[in-house]
Amino acid sequence: MARDSGYAATGGVARDHDGNWRVGFTRFLGVCSPFEAEVWGILDGILILLNKRYKRVIVLTDNLEVVQILSDLDLKDSGITVLRRTQCIMRAEGMWKIKHIPRNQNLVADRLAKL
């Protein structure tokens, strides 16, 4: 997220169980919060992987708040549409787990977003 303009982008990397790169993606979002940008990145990644027929995925993010909210299966109606959509897909499709990782282990995704 560019602090001066408020513009945000998101990006992600999908790797297989051996750590091999499968797909990378980026998206310019315009003006939004860092929280929303993180959720957009997760949603984009999920949709890409569903399209490639992946059903068992572990999502890693350095945003602890996003991990806590997406892990809460009892969370009801959120006011953020992209969050509701992501939660709905994670509940309905395949086996999705979300885990927190330290920011210094998430450098590839952060660099993709900055492209």
Q: Span 84-103, mean pLDDT?
A: 86
Residue 2 belongs to some domain of the structure: no
Task: Look at 83 and 77; give whichever has higher pLDDT.
Answer: 83
Q: Span 90-113, mean pLDDT?
A: 77
Q: Say yes or no to pLDDT of 78 above 70.
A: no
pLDDT digits (tens, 9 = 90+) for 19-72: 888 898 989 999 988 899 999 999 999 999 999 998 888 998 989 999 999 887
Q: Which residues contact 89 (CB under 8 A, 6 or more apart)?
A: 43, 46, 47, 50, 96
Q: Say yes or no to pLDDT of 113 above 60.
A: no
Q: Say yes or no to pLDDT of 92 above 60.
A: yes
Q: What is the mean pLDDT of the chain?
A: 84
Round to whole Å and give the CA distance between 53 and 47. Answer: 10
Q: Which residues contact 15 (CB under 8 A, 6 or more apart)?
A: 21, 22
- What is the total count of domains within the chain? 1
| Residues spanned by the domain of 104 | 8-113
Q: Looking at residue 100, which CATH number applies to its domain?
A: 3.30.420.10
Q: Maximum CA pair distance of the chain?
A: 39
pTM of the model: 0.83
Residue 19 belongs to some domain of the structure: yes
Q: What is the DSSP code (8-state) at residue 103? A: G
Q: Which residues contact 66 (CB under 8 A, 6 or more apart)?
A: 35, 38, 39, 42, 98
Residue 66: its pLDDT value, please? 92
Task: Look at 84 and 1; give whichever has higher pLDDT.
Answer: 84
Residues 66/86, Cβ–Cβ less than 8 Å: no
Residue 1 belongs to some domain of the structure: no
